[in-house]
């Protein structure tokens, strides 16, 4: 099985590019952000707890997202692999993923990182807020907090995956088609 990680700051376009990649390589796309938003919309207990964190630009606890990933790995059949979007987001999550895969004799295949500068993160998320109405996109303070969290907790994963020879990067500045092309050119 292939295990791809789509990496990048908030608003980099992970969700947009994931759809094309999942189709091309017959992968199951798992977006932890989308799974959490589904819990929020369904009004589950987990959703209520997650909303309080997400809507303030904070991460949900590692165990929560780790559990979501493990249950999809165990239940999804008929694909050639998985495309993780928004996970791992902390070093602890990256280590948990390695352990989970190791139980099945599997490893991370590659990390595809979509990079954009901080100013563009703000611009894109503010544009998306007008269209999608996500509560965590609504205020500049929340967006800024997510950027800070990205730099502090998620960016260290770049070194983690570089050290393991898994890291590939594309320029996320450009049209959706240009970025898609750059990603497909990696393979
Ligand atoms: P993009 O626009 O590139 O898809 P994003 O950061 O805007 O990225 P999501 O990935 O959908 O949005 O995540 C939304 C929120 O869900 C995060 O800010 C965080 O609160 C929570 N979340 C998602 N994945 C994780 C995770 N792996 N660990 C902890 N919290 C997470
Ligand atoms: Mg997303």
Position 80 scores a pLDDT of: 98
Q: Could you give the 3-state DSSP secondary structure of residue 174?
A: coil
Ligand 1 atom nearest 13 alpha carbon: 3
Residue 187 lies in a domain: no
Position 123 scores a pLDDT of: 95
Contact 69, 87 (CB under 8 A): yes
Q: What is the pLDDT of residues 127-178, one digit of tens each?
A: 999 999 999 999 999 999 999 999 999 999 999 999 999 999 999 999 999 9
Contact 32, 67 (CB under 8 A): no
To the query of whether residue 166 is one of the catalytic residues in this protein, the response is no
Position 71 scores a pLDDT of: 96
Name 4's bridge partners. 83, 110
Q: Could you give the 3-state DSSP secondary structure of residue 105?
A: coil
Average pLDDT over residues 114-132: 95
The confidence band for 92, taking pLDDT boundaries of 50, 70 and 90, is very high
- The total number of structural domains in the chain stands at 1
Of 121, 171, 127, 114, the C-alpha closest to 145 is 121
Residue of minimum CA distance from atom 30 in ligand 1: 59
Ligand 1 atom nearest 8 alpha carbon: 3
Instruction: Compute, in angstroms, the gap from residue 155 CA to the centroid of ligand 1.
Output: 14
Position 155 scores a pLDDT of: 98
Q: Is 86 in the pocket of ligand 1 (CB under 6 A)?
A: yes
- Which CATH number do you get for residue 171? 3.40.50.300
Ligand 1 atom nearest 14 alpha carbon: 3
CA distance 161 to 8: 13
Q: What is the pLDDT of residues 78-90, one digit of tens each?
A: 999 999 999 999 9
To the query of whether residue 72 is one of the catalytic residues in this protein, the response is no
What range does the domain containing 53 cover? 2-180
Instruction: Compute, in angstroms, the gap from residue 66 CA to the centroid of ligand 1.
Output: 13
Position 87 scores a pLDDT of: 98
Of all helices (H) and strands (E), which one includes residue 90?
Answer: none
Instruction: Compute, in angstroms, the gap from residue 146 CA to the centroid of ligand 2.
Output: 13
Given 72, 92, 134, 166, the catalytic residue: 134
Position 144 scores a pLDDT of: 96
Q: Is 33 in the pocket of ligand 1 (CB under 6 A)?
A: yes
Q: What is the pLDDT of residues 7-66, one digit of tens each?
A: 999 999 999 999 999 999 999 999 999 999 999 999 999 999 999 999 999 999 999 999
Residue 141 lies in a domain: yes
Residue 74 lies in a domain: yes
To the query of whether residue 128 is one of the catalytic residues in this protein, the response is yes
Position 59 scores a pLDDT of: 98
Residue 185 lies in a domain: no
Average pLDDT over residues 122-130: 94
């Amino acid at each position: 099985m292939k295990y791809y990680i789509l990496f990048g700051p908030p608003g980099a376009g992970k969700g947009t590019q994931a759809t094309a990649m999942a189709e091309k390589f017959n992968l199951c796309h798992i977006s932890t952000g989308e799974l959490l938003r589904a819990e929020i919309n369904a009004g589950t207990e987990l959703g209520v707890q997650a909303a309080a964190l997400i809507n303030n630009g904070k991460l949900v606890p590692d165990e929560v997202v780790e559990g979501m990933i493990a249950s999809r790995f165990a239940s999804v059949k008929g694909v050639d692999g998985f495309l993780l979007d928004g996970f791992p987001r902390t070093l602890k999550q990256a280590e948990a993923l390695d352990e989970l895969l190791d139980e099945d004799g599997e490893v991370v295949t590659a990390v595809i990182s979509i990079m954009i500068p901080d100013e563009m993160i703000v611009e894109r998320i503010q544009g998306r807020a007008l269209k999608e109405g996500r509560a965590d996109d609504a205020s500049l303070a929340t967006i800024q907090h997510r950027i800070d969290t990205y730099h502090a907790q998620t960016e260290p994963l770049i070194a983690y995956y570089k050290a393991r020879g898994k890291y590939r990067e594309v320029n996320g500045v450009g049209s959706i088609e240009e970025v898609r092309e750059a990603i497909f050119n990696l393979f």
